[in-house]
Amino acid sequence: MTTGSTDRKIDKMIHLLVKNAMVVVPGPKIALQIGVTRAAVGQWIKTLRELGVEIKGHHGTGYQLLKIPDILVPSLIQAELGESEIGRTIIHHFRADSTNTAALNLAQKGAEHGTVVVAEEQTAGRGRLGRPWHSEKSSGIYASVILRPPFSPAAAPILTLMAGVATQHALSAATGLSVDIRWPNDLLVNGKKVAGILTEMSAELGRLHAVVLGIGINVNHREMPAELKPIATSLRIESQRPWSRVQVFIALLKELERYYHLLLEKGSAAIAERWAAASTYANGKRIRIMTPEAESLATTVGLDSSGALRVRYDDWREEALVAGEVAEVK
């Protein structure tokens, strides 16, 4: 399988099968309606089966979808998004190196605000601080959203917090799990990381061209790799049931749209307020602050309106953290 974006025609085929769910659809009808050869239909059915889509082949009569597939293709998502700008264009990949790289390239070529790139699998998923992001096939949501906000680059950090609050709301509403946010933007369930956000931007001399919000969510991973087990988890592991990635993704895109508009209309203080209400890290949390140079202990004393985390060191000195990594001290 290549890393190119998914052919719109395969998306159309999934749509056709879903529209006729549980009915046997003749191969020639699929080929005719989509405008491809019967051989291409056979090839795509194989690809979909490899992704876990349950399609029964009826010899000589056609194909029957046995279950609505949980694939993040535009045709299964966009109908739920209404007038939303975020997700008006969704570019789906069965496999991408990194959806952030793909989105940054598209942004460079002028892709519109709200364009979303999503992949079933990433071969070079990136996390913060140069770490890799574990991107197991069809288990997680690996998505990047292109935003074109009317801000200067200096205001970009609040967009990361905006994405953190939106993701927190989407995950807790979709699953009922209690989801915490560790500053600046790690989503935790029972103290372990279930999702992360990598914000990258293209800017020059005080002018922001585009921001790419890369969001990775561990949804249906049955088990995390050994090295991640102590610190990471999935929604499935924590709730002991699988979740529809399509539904979680729809919830995420809707919440991003909602909080982006809140930011534009009410400003960064409104986001900081929502963030502080959603995170146990905002106030009174004993934390370890890790920078490349040193580690220190402090207690959190609030979030300022730009999204910086205010901390008090043991000598009562106070500081506002704008970047870095923190961990809870138990």
- 99 lies in the binding site for ligand BTN (CB under 6 A): yes
- The alpha carbon dihedral of 69, 74, 79, 82 has a sign of positive
Q: Where are the alpha helices (DSSP H) in the chain?
A: 8-19, 27-34, 38-50, 74-77, 99-108, 156-175, 235-239, 245-266, 268-278
Which 8-state DSSP code applies to residue 307?
A: S
- 142 lies in the binding site for ligand BTN (CB under 6 A): yes
The residue assigned the tokens 């770490």 is 131
Cβ closer to ligand BTN: 128 or 258?
A: 128
Stretch touching ligand BTN by CB under 6 A, among 14-22, 24-32, 142-150, 271-279 = 142-150
- Give burial (CB, 10 Å; 0-12/13-18/19+) of 318: exposed
Chosen residue from 62, 87, 157, 216 binding ligand BTN by CB under 6 A: 216
Q: Are 63 and 56 in contact (CB under 8 A)?
A: yes
Stretch touching ligand BTN by CB under 6 A, among 108-116, 210-218, 220-228, 299-307 = 210-218
- 160 lies in the binding site for ligand BTN (CB under 6 A): no
Stretch touching ligand BTN by CB under 6 A, among 92-100, 241-249, 297-305, 307-315 = 92-100
Cβ closer to ligand BTN: 186 or 257?
A: 186
- 138 lies in the binding site for ligand BTN (CB under 6 A): no
Q: Shortest Cβ contact with ligand BTN: which residue?
A: 196
Give residues 182-201 in contact with ligand BTN (rule: CB under 6 A).
186, 196-198
Beta bridge partners of 75: none
| The two structure tokens encoding residue 302 | 């609030």
- 125 lies in the binding site for ligand BTN (CB under 6 A): yes
In whole angstroms, the minimum distance from the beta carbon of 125 to ligand BTN comes to 4
* Number of C-beta neighbours around residue 296 at 10 A: 13
Nearest in space to 122 (alpha carbons), one of 92, 96, 143:
96
Cβ closer to ligand BTN: 69 or 196?
A: 196
- Give the binding site for ligand BTN (CB under 6 A): 98-100, 122, 125-128, 131, 133, 142-144, 186, 196-198, 214-216
